[in-house]
Chains A and B, each alone.
Chain A
Amino acid sequence: MLLKIISNLTIIVCCTFLGLHMSYRYNYRIYNIKILQSILAHLETEIIHYSTFLSQAIINSVRPFEGEWKTFFLKVAASLEDNNEHSLIDIWIECLKGLKNNPYIGKPEYEIIYRFGMQLGGTDKKSQEKYFKLAQEQLKIEENNAQQLRLRYSKMYRSLGLLLGIGIAIVLF
């Protein structure tokens, strides 16, 4: 009997954590989008106003931040400094692969950054400014979408986890 109670309690706790984790994904995705927007804003300043070389511009831009996007950008910068076998596009795609199945990064922002990388560094400042503006606008839309998804599903997953745990426990009891 005691064993049954303990195993059922374990199921409830696990399901609750699963629900919390699913809910956390929505919150953390928004956080990541905001970090990405800030990195791009810094990068734009480095490129447009200071004409800093791309690798150094990236390093300077990500310095105050943490998270997945910082790791990605630092990887790109390191590859640019070490490598002269691959083009920027190849390096960008290769580094971006590491984020493809990341649960805290949505497919839309992944694609925005993928497309943004195809244009980065290769044109004059005026065009670069346009690409930054476009990426920021698209990220803003994704941020709003992510907010709506969070409102819709975050609370639901939290409750669902607990309820699913209780449900399984009742069935097994």
Chain B
Amino acid sequence: MKQKIDYLRHVHKPVMKALPDNIKKIILSISPDILNELEEIRIRQGRPLMVYSHGRDYFLCKDGGITYNQNSAYIVTQEDTRRILELISNYSIYAFEEELRSGFITLQGGYRIGLAGKTVLKGDRVAAFQHITSFNIRISKEVINAANKILPFIIKGNRVLHTLILSPPQMGKTTLIRDITRQLSNGFQGFRGVKVGVVDERSEIAGCFQGIPQNDVGIRTDILDGCPKAVGIIMLIRSMSPNVIITDEIGKPDDVVAVEDALNAGISIITTAHSHGLEDAQKRPILKSLLDKNIFQRILVLGNSLGTGTLERVYDGINGKLLLEKPIR
């Protein structure tokens, strides 16, 4: 029990600080098996308190026990959601205006809390949240060396190839790209570190808290936190002279233009997109336009055939040749 409490208090201290005492006690009472693989804490006002672990969700009772019956689960109250909002914002909602508009807040340590509720619109843009009633606390895990098996495919000599990583949600795409950033920036045996620019629109890669990266993203990495990708890529090209630009979840027409600008400036691009594979990506207009232009020299597909984060396929983006036939993890 002591070990379990220490694990959460120290490893995920910022998350524990963001929870009111009653919910904290419940989380601390969960069995170690579920706790160690904890991926998300789901808090929805008027509905059962849930955690997501081992690829499925569990209802939590008042005593921290697991139940499959939602009627015996702890029901989140309005006071709970109000307190969580106060705690995650450090009693300072005004300091998170932009983050609230984007629908998430990043805690110290790089933990991201997704928010949902009643939005107030100004034109077609979310101006504010009126009532925040749902929280998704994501327990981010930094997996050092997660990219070891992938790096040989995306590096040629001391040059980083333009790479697109395709993956369905929750397959470790961000964890992978974070470790790629760290290794390219720090360098490793046979590769000298290069200047890396990260456009971290949703604060997921570096997990910046007040501008300081909370995850290890390397010593030669500059981060534009909370900046739209299209704008950020251009800003980095103009101001930080990176060798590689890394961004997450490309998908808007403006992103494509910015990627092309980076390529013309001689900068390598590594980016990701939500997709189940190359065929699936071809069905999405924006991704299709990128793929048709043969911009990317490597296309990596992630899946879970051997577990989360399995590298299923690697394509040569120019000639479409399959470079990896058997999945590896």
Contact = CB atoms under 8 A, between A and B. Distances in A.
Question: Are A and B genuine complex partners?
Answer: yes
Interface of A: 47-48, 51-55, 57, 80, 84-85, 87-88, 121-125, 128
Interface in B96-135: 97, 128
Given A47-B94, A54-B90, 4 more contacts: A53-B90, A87-B82, A88-B91, A122-B93
A151 B9 CA distance: 59
B21 A123 contact: no
A166 B270 CA distance: 91
Do most interface residues of chain B lie in helix, strand or loop, or is the interface mixed?
helix
Contacts of A121: 89, 91-94
B95 interface: yes
Contact of A87 (B86, B95, B128): B86
A53 B17 contact: no
B62 interface: no
B87 interface: yes
B95 A123 contact: no
Contact of B95 (A53, A84, A85, A88): A53
B226 interface: no
A122 B89 CA distance: 9
B133 to A, nearest CB: 16
Nearest to B100: A124
A87 B86 CA distance: 7
A76 B89 CA distance: 16
Given A84-B21, A124-B128, A55 B90 contact: yes
B20 interface: yes
Given A84-B17, A84-B21, A123 B93 contact: yes
B108 to A, nearest CB: 11
Interface string B15-41: 001001100000000000000000000
A125 B97 CA distance: 8
A124 B97 contact: yes
A54 B87 contact: no
Given A124-B128, A125-B97, A84 B91 contact: no
Nearest to B87: A84
Contacts of A88: 86, 91
Interface of B: 17, 20-21, 82-83, 86-87, 89-95, 97, 128
A43 to B, nearest CB: 12
Contacts of A124: 93-94, 97, 128
A80 B97 contact: no
A38 B128 CA distance: 30
B13 to A, nearest CB: 12
Contacts of B92: 47, 51-54, 57, 121
Contacts of A52: 92, 95
A164 to B, nearest CB: 50
B212 to A, nearest CB: 14
A85 B95 CA distance: 21
Contacts of A85: 20-21
Between B20, B94, B95, the greatest number of chain A beta carbons within 10 A of the residue's beta carbon is seen for B94
12 contacts: A51-B94, A52-B92, A54-B90, A57-B92, A84-B20, A85-B20, A87-B82, A88-B86, A121-B93, A121-B94, A123-B94, A124-B97
Nearest to A81: B90
A123 B89 CA distance: 11
A128 B94 contact: yes
Nearest to B24: A84
A55 B91 contact: yes
B90 A51 contact: no
Nearest to B20: A84
A122 B83 CA distance: 11
A40 B90 CA distance: 19
A133 to B, nearest CB: 15
B263 to A, nearest CB: 36
B83 to A, nearest CB: 6
A52 B91 CA distance: 11
Contacts of B83: 87
Nearest to A91: B91
A46 B131 CA distance: 26
A85 B91 CA distance: 13
B43 to A, nearest CB: 15
Given A84-B87, A87-B83, A88-B86, A51 B95 contact: yes
A166 to B, nearest CB: 56
Nearest to B16: A84
A87 B17 CA distance: 13
Contacts of B94: 47-48, 51, 121, 123-125, 128
